[in-house]
Amino acid sequence: MTHKRFILYSRSYCHLCDDMVTALRALCGDALPIEVIDVDLHAELVERYDELVPVLMGVEEGHSPRQLCNYFLNENNVRAFVAAQAS
């Protein structure tokens, strides 16, 4: 079985970021860990994600991280990521 997790690129003062964490936990519960990273603490992340936050990435062991959504939770993408079997 592969290990999956979420990374949420966020900001501390972002209500959309807070809303995405709440929606993600409501959808998935504690099924997968969520790592929240404040982009403002990393210049390279500000450059990459500045106006896109929140950005939710799905991370699966042995695969490149996959952007699932930004601004608002895309439940279909999250469900597909959680349900997908490793190929």
Mind listing the pLDDT tens digit for each residue in 8-56?
Answer: 999 999 999 999 999 999 999 988 999 999 999 999 999 999 999 999 9
CATH topology for 6-83 is: Glutaredoxin (3.40.30)
Residue ranges per structural domain of the chain: 6-83
Query: What 8-state DSSP symbol labels residue 8?
Result: E
Query: What 8-state DSSP symbol labels residue 53?
Result: -
pLDDT for the residue 75 = 97
3 state DSSP class of 26:
helix
Length of the chain in residues, anyone? Answer: 87
Q: Which residue's structure tokens are 């690129």? A: 9
Beta bridge partners of 27: none
Mind listing the pLDDT tens digit for each residue in 43-64?
Answer: 999 999 999 999 999 999 989 9
Give the neighbor-by-neighbor strand order of the sheet with 4-10: 34-38, 4-10, 55-60, 66-70
